[in-house]
Structure 1
């Protein structure tokens, strides 16, 4: 089974930001943890000329041995003004879009 997450990034700052979205999850027993990361994305200040970076996707393929397991996950944005120093983090959401949740792997 492949789980896909969609996300967007808005930059309210005056500087161009470098961001990486990381989704981490666990089956609760620590046996089948997973992490999936985006490439480093460049996000210009969001305004009428530069819209938010929307419709991005991350996917993770679960092995057949995880069938029936329920996972919880959290999405975290790592960001900074340099692609080599993204030490700030955010789990903020806009408009009620969740940054965490759970799902069960089905066949």
Structure 2
């Protein structure tokens, strides 16, 4: 299974009282890891109580709190991942087309 990208989980915490983001853990490790492996950095997810609540209830956050910042982050990650899958699929298809074109041109030679 090819690695398509890295998501940095629990990247920061947003205070529910002042809306100030706080880095509880070191931030940026996900981006560095993506660069090291030459894959896409898909995004950051906050350490957010609403993610835990939605997960505990078995309801996707994008449904239970669609207007939340965390839901927007999930949608962004999903869109970026879909783009990476599309690129991989196109590359695989282009490679197969080139292979078949090469075989056809070789078999057409006298």
**TM-score, normalised relative to structure 2:** 0.28
Q: Which has the larger radius of gyration?
A: 2
Relative to its length, the structure with more helix (as a share) is 2
Higher relative contact order (CA 8 A, sep 6+): 1
More strand by share: 1
